Amino acid sequence: MTDSTLPCRLVVLISGRGSNLQAIGELIKTAGLNGRIEAVISNKGDAPGLEWAQRQGLPTETVSHREFATREAFDQALARVIDRYQPDYVLLAGFMRILSTDFVQHYAGKLINIHPSLLPSFPGLNTHQQALDAGVQFHGCSVHFVTPVLDDGPIIAQSIVPVLHDDDAQTLAERVLATEHHVYTEAVRWLIEGRVRLLADGRVEVAGLAHRGFYFPA
């Protein structure tokens, strides 16, 4: 929870086009929230999301993972850049790097990710095919605090979509993707408003909400 009298400072990490970044940027602009994207950082200099950020007048940085011999060295360099902006939260928005334990612990309680499954089910890659193979009837995405365990951590919000009998991995992925912008921006809204509390037992509480799932029928 941040001091509500000061703007909530966000740093967003991307590797590609940054569609969730754009949705978050539009939310802050149109909803009058007391938050600010301090910087957009990518591990790829040609990431289209950097161009979008620059057009919005947002500071951008590139820290290429290819310039470092180890993941730990890259993460240390990335953290040095992030820390210059003193963020309240670091948002992973399509940042395609597995982060080291030291990096995650450095931002404990501040590092947020969105994963295309209903965690704790189907961590890792190919989540939509995993869901189809398991025969589940519902799928979705999860916004969560990041912990050293891959695709783990306290869940802030989830979207839920039905799995249809004729779905393949692509159609299911498209249905889930259509919900990501909504659920991520809602979670960011709660963070900016200072309503999110990480409890001692590892669960999340959002002030004023009894339920943090969003169902999207087909």
| Residues 158-168: tens digit of each pLDDT | 999 999 999 99
**Token digits for 41?**
């950082």
pTM: 0.94
pLDDT tens per residue across span 8-28: 999 999 999 999 999 999 999
- Give yes or no for residue 3 having a pLDDT over 60: no
pLDDT of residue 218: 86
Closest of 92, 211, 91 to residue 160, by C-alpha: 211
User: For residues 83 and 39, what is the distance between their CA atoms, to the nearest angstrom?
Assistant: 11
Domains and CATH numbers, the chain: 1-107 (3.40.50.170), 114-144+153-218 (3.40.50.170)
Active-site positions read: 115
Closest of 17, 39, 12 to residue 185, by C-alpha: 12
Q: Which helix (H) or strand (E) holds 19?
A: helix 19-31
pLDDT of residue 118: 98
Contacts (Cβ under 8 Å, ≥6 apart) of 181 = 19, 20, 23
pLDDT tens per residue across span 56-85: 999 999 999 999 999 999 999 999 999 999
